[in-house]
Structure 1
């Protein structure tokens, strides 16, 4: 029913046709189950747990709701337990009778109507169904009128009788401190009904004391420790999960607590994860993609139907958007045919374009389609679904203005995501999305393939599954999915998409890392087919964005700088010059994954353009010889309004350059970050190209905003922190 939820784990062989500049490294990529990721279920089936029965469709904790849960093929029916005045266990969530029965009407003088103050006989006189008809008229049924509160014994026998051995039992000791002897009574009834040794039996509680009592009474029963956010506040999740293993078989966290670190901590300790209460299909998908082992839901039919078919598992994205085209991306949880619908109409009733494409294991079930014939300067809506499923995921993007137009522009950029122990959630993405940018430039280090995270506990990533797992881990971030679904994205790679400070042609992992990068980003064929990754995109005549590939062609970092050392390769360098020379856009934005004057990498192996000879005069490395060609070209050809944009260094800095020392700014460099990695303080700039700091700040998560207003002849840069506070803003007057 719910098999094969863990995508891409079966063994197969994929031949990687790797084009230049990596042809020397082309070889088959072996796809095997490396066994690393903790972001997958411990069990082969993800459990559908009917929360208080099918409580979205019938009155909770009544036999009617339990029967609906069984009909909907729930794996477990949940009972909350309270104890009556005469020591009988009943199925009820609240400690009082007021909300879900007519106790106020039948017993008006017995406020606050606590369960413990009423005998079972008194409770059996109550109507436990009519309230539901009033509260949820769309689900109302006359059959619910007069439904009774069941005892635990009645509930167990009902599920046994109607569940045909397929529906399990899941019961919670509610407020056990209010009911002395509750645990003993539970075990007594489980024995009496012959279910104590059932495989499909779980007992749960927020009370550790209650669970420990149950463990002492029945050591073989599986126990689930429930958690609220308050219970986990201030605790080390790894220590907490390890601590409870002496009595618990799993945890039931509030769904907001389910993050990669909790999943890793639980699964490393062989604890099942059953979050509560999951009622939207988006949340069901999100938590399933995080690797939970089951979910409590009021809608067991929706969760069951979702798991029974292929579904969109990690959101959607659009990318490399031009004035007439876009690339759409998504991923399914297993092999499927995916359908995209694209329209200028958010209802998809008019002017609809339909594209279909298969998802397959060789590409980790990722899908990309190219959409052509679009109108410029137009907002498009799109949605994707696996054709056998009715679960859809929606997105939107805006095409670039027509070629010669001058339209204002707002873009956001950032990078450095998932490094040095900083893993989802990332606040910055949601803050970016709230700005409604025209597009998002993901400036590199979109994953940290060489850092330990729940996706790859034993780095560096070696097999393609490792790299895939890293991308999926970051896609568990709700904010990132929101941003990708709200606007077009241009993704570029840097070192951590493969391994720290790598040089493409000499790094054996390059083909594998590149293959995964192309799988997980909506990259056009112009960028990806020959693995060149560099390309120009225009926003009318307002801006030309020139995306560089700083990794694929570079000489080894350890090579001494000189005429033969290159970061871009001759072909890309000449292409860059041509784009700059031919551009008549107001702004020329060069998207580079490494900085100009901030020394990066290591001594004797500098990774950015700067050689850092001001730090170590004997260090011959760096790529200044090549950057001087770019700098001289900009100056000699009098190319105006050039902005280099990057991340990489884990702090924010804005720099203007007077490379020829004539007192005029030749170009600018805009640096943001990190979004989610170690944050450090700025250091000393290499002086070679005449940098002058306009702003520098570290030790905070941040991203950049770049706005161009052609009417005002201005370009404005902002550095915002993850909460949206502007730390720096500066406007540049654009030259004609």
Structure 2
């Protein structure tokens, strides 16, 4: 398990809570490779460890299980050790013989049948295979009956005979129960020639056992500290792993503990990470996406296949859905040919639509394919896999109703993920998916390219590899993958896809950030052009979604507001007006990545529409002059049911506007967030356009839900927390 060079970085974080990471120095940053991500293996080869042998296919810790693991080309065979009454080391996982042998039948009066209470001769009388045959039923092999518990010497001889290159992954179980276990283990390993680098790894849940082994073995034989969730619960992760690094070369956490934060903390200390027990291909892909250095599994054949063949590495997604088309997205772990299949039948029995596309290196092995000729208002199922690989990722989406159809609609929206030390997982995405929405509007700040996270520890994305690493980091989140694979997504960008409060044309990193954004979201090519990124989608006659590009055209934030200052650019502004006046949809939803009356940015550097002169009357910035054109256009043309929707401000807000102060509501602004970033309390609103605050709440992760019921002529807006609990619900009539 040869380690790669990586630079250390201290970071104080706790399980269940965190403090903001400190950026590394510019000198350290300049010494890094093109990719500074901590979510990559620090070894040259990700090891496959056969847990108790190939224990999914044969009774654990038996000759059959070990030989099958070797045939499956596992790098390591894992051996759990207990010690008999007469001091013999035997390969068995449990401290009791009850689960995996017929000890109750042979020795009925010796409960609780602990290994330590039986001699080796007595243990050799037991059948260690029948339990497996009985559990597997009629499909199991009768030859497993009569398998014997092996001594460590016997296990080693079996492995040596089958393949001398297969290494050992040995665990000392309950070492306090067995005084002298470590000394006996080392003597056997010396005698059999395994006490050397690349042939052996030793692991234990017992720190005491590992510290005892440390001076007894060569320095280049790795020790692994195992962790259950309870062992780390409530502890400071930084301190726990710093202590482990004193005596161990790696950690073996329960798979549920593996997060970007844990990976960063371990890899900064050059500790390898080998999670247990990772059995399905989906679980394996998830762990590999987090950058683990090894996989402990009952199914070594699955892991070996993923090591040798391309696979879908970060889930799949659908987006830009119309009544007859959709864009499908996926990423493979290496350049490969991707095969998409689309069908109304979830079992794909009917002939599906098939699309094939090469995932190219120049696009970080991402691929997007447009599917046409779909039926309106229909649920579609899709699946995708990389050529010659067998693992498959599946998803669903619903096409929009056609033309003038007025169907009920539920959408969810949110933004602000991965900022100010908030790292996946993000629970809100699962709560969104549980509502079975028709689509998800990702309202910007889909990453924080300029904030430190395990993907970019120094917090300063500069290269395309850095930006890509940020997207991949968020896609390690099972909650996000769940949402993206259960409905379609319309993604818009804001500032943190590049750098805080940036103005597109004047920011050197704009093109780099835009390339990564368009690689990682399902976007039509014509809509992802840097001179576009604004477009409209219709959900029948129920809703028109008008997506703005608030970044790509804007004049610098520091420019004094006036008739010559723009956020949208002339072309986009005229397009917005045209779409508003032409729309006869029940609801017009304008997706803006910045708010109207909530002050954002800094003094003399306002980032949203508001100039915030109620905060500083001498502040001449903001974009109110341009927004007044939009507001006046809505009023003058009596355009009804206009709603602006945004995130960006890191708290929830519901605002209705009466810019002409005549007592009637002319449009609304719906604000949610954050999904995973710093939480902020609501400030005072800029009064320019006559805002009336209906609800405002900060200090919690949240998302928005919008429901439109055309028959009832009603729109309902909800703000829900990350657990799906409703904090606000407002019903608004749809005006005729």
The answer for the alignment partner of 2:702 in structure 1 is 702
Q: Distance in 1 between matches of 2:690 and 2:463?
A: 43
Matched, 1:647 2:647: yes
Query: 1:594·1:609 contact (CA, 8 Å) conserved in 2?
Result: yes
Q: Distance in 1 between matches of 2:408 and 2:564?
A: 41
The answer for the alignment partner of 1:133 in structure 2 is 133
Judge which range, 403-412 or 217-226, deviates more. Answer: 217-226
Deviation string for 1:508-561 (max 9, x for gaps)? 000000000000000112311354110000000000000000000000000000
Q: Distance in 2 between matches of 1:582 and 1:186?
A: 80
2:566 alignment partner, SS class: coil
The answer for the alignment partner of 1:177 in structure 2 is 176
Query: 1:324·1:375 contact (CA, 8 Å) conserved in 2?
Result: yes
The answer for the alignment partner of 1:630 in structure 2 is 630
Q: Distance in 2 between matches of 1:531 and 1:154?
A: 69
Matched, 1:330 2:330: yes
Matched, 1:168 2:167: yes
The answer for the alignment partner of 2:566 in structure 1 is 566
The answer for the alignment partner of 2:213 in structure 1 is 214
Q: Distance in 2 between matches of 1:56 and 1:159?
A: 18
The answer for the alignment partner of 2:380 in structure 1 is 380
> Where do residues 503-518 of structure 1 align in structure 2 (5 Å cutoff)?
503-518=503-518
Query: 1:228·1:253 contact (CA, 8 Å) conserved in 2?
Result: yes
Deviation at 1:33, TM superposition (A): 4.5
Deviation string for 1:79-115 (max 9, x for gaps)? 0000000011000000011111111111111111100
Query: 1:653·1:697 contact (CA, 8 Å) conserved in 2?
Result: yes
Q: Distance in 2 between matches of 1:35 and 1:406?
A: 49
Q: Distance in 1 between matches of 2:173 and 2:525?
A: 58
> Where do residues 93-242 of structure 1 align in structure 2 (5 Å cutoff)?
93-137=93-137, 140-165=140-165, 167-220=166-219, 221-242=221-242
Deviation string for 1:242-271 (max 9, x for gaps)? 221111010000000000000000001001
2:287 alignment partner, SS class: helix
1:496 alignment partner, SS class: coil
Deviation at 1:236, TM superposition (A): 2.0
The answer for the alignment partner of 2:12 in structure 1 is none
1:52 alignment partner, SS class: coil
The answer for the alignment partner of 2:665 in structure 1 is 665
Query: 2:61·2:92 contact (CA, 8 Å) conserved in 1?
Result: yes
Query: 1:426·1:479 contact (CA, 8 Å) conserved in 2?
Result: yes
1:468 alignment partner, SS class: helix
Query: 1:172·1:205 contact (CA, 8 Å) conserved in 2?
Result: yes
> Where do residues 24-423 of structure 1 align in structure 2 (5 Å cutoff)?
33-137=33-137, 140-165=140-165, 167-220=166-219, 221-423=221-423
The answer for the alignment partner of 1:8 in structure 2 is none
2:588 alignment partner, SS class: strand
Q: Distance in 1 between matches of 2:136 and 2:213?
A: 37
Q: Distance in 2 between matches of 1:345 and 1:469?
A: 35
Q: Distance in 2 between matches of 1:527 and 1:350?
A: 32
Query: 2:202·2:222 contact (CA, 8 Å) conserved in 1?
Result: yes
- Given the superposition, is the C-alpha separation of residues 511 and 635 from structure 1 closer, same or farther in structure 2, using an over 3 Å criterion? same
Q: Distance in 2 between matches of 1:266 and 1:629?
A: 54
2:317 alignment partner, SS class: strand
The answer for the alignment partner of 1:735 in structure 2 is 735
The answer for the alignment partner of 1:679 in structure 2 is 679
Q: Distance in 2 between matches of 1:399 and 1:311?
A: 27
1:571 alignment partner, SS class: helix
Deviation at 1:358, TM superposition (A): 0.2
Deviation at 1:303, TM superposition (A): 1.0
Deviation at 1:139, TM superposition (A): 5.1
- Given the superposition, is the C-alpha separation of residues 351 and 375 from structure 1 closer, same or farther in structure 2, using an over 3 Å criterion? farther
Query: 2:426·2:675 contact (CA, 8 Å) conserved in 1?
Result: yes
Query: 1:317·1:328 contact (CA, 8 Å) conserved in 2?
Result: yes
- Given the superposition, is the C-alpha separation of residues 138 and 333 from structure 1 closer, same or farther in structure 2, using an over 3 Å criterion? farther
Q: Distance in 2 between matches of 1:444 and 1:506?
A: 20
2:717 alignment partner, SS class: strand
Deviation string for 1:597-617 (max 9, x for gaps)? 000001110000000000000
Deviation string for 1:168-197 (max 9, x for gaps)? 100100011111111111111111212112
Matched, 1:692 2:716: no
Q: Distance in 2 between matches of 1:139 and 1:302?
A: 20
Q: Distance in 2 between matches of 1:148 and 1:449?
A: 56
Q: Distance in 2 between matches of 1:241 and 1:552?
A: 44
Query: 1:237·1:261 contact (CA, 8 Å) conserved in 2?
Result: no
Q: Which runs of 5+ in 2 are unaligned?
A: 5-31
Q: Which runs of 5+ in 1 are unaligned?
A: 5-31
Deviation at 1:239, TM superposition (A): 2.3
Q: Distance in 1 between matches of 2:161 and 2:48?
A: 19
Query: 1:40·1:292 contact (CA, 8 Å) conserved in 2?
Result: yes
Aligned residue pairs total 709
The answer for the alignment partner of 1:553 in structure 2 is 553
- Given the superposition, is the C-alpha separation of residues 317 and 144 from structure 1 closer, same or farther in structure 2, using an over 3 Å criterion? same
Deviation string for 1:373-431 (max 9, x for gaps)? 11100000000000211111000000000110100000000000000000101000000
Query: 1:37·1:456 contact (CA, 8 Å) conserved in 2?
Result: yes
Judge which range, 449-458 or 137-146, deviates more. Answer: 137-146
The answer for the alignment partner of 1:490 in structure 2 is 490
Q: Distance in 1 between matches of 2:500 and 2:529?
A: 25
The answer for the alignment partner of 1:20 in structure 2 is none
The answer for the alignment partner of 2:13 in structure 1 is none
Deviation string for 1:296-319 (max 9, x for gaps)? 100001111122101000000000
Deviation at 1:459, TM superposition (A): 2.2
Deviation string for 1:474-531 (max 9, x for gaps)? 0000000000000000000000000000000000000000000000000112311354
Q: Distance in 2 between matches of 1:135 and 1:351?
A: 38
1:169 alignment partner, SS class: strand
Q: Distance in 2 between matches of 1:49 and 1:62?
A: 16
Deviation at 1:164, TM superposition (A): 3.0
2:445 alignment partner, SS class: coil
Q: Distance in 2 between matches of 1:155 and 1:91?
A: 8
Q: Distance in 2 between matches of 1:363 and 1:217?
A: 49
Deviation at 1:142, TM superposition (A): 1.9
TM-score, reference length from structure 1? 0.95
Query: 2:195·2:218 contact (CA, 8 Å) conserved in 1?
Result: no
2:150 alignment partner, SS class: coil
> Where do residues 426-575 of structure 1 align in structure 2 (5 Å cutoff)?
426-575=426-575
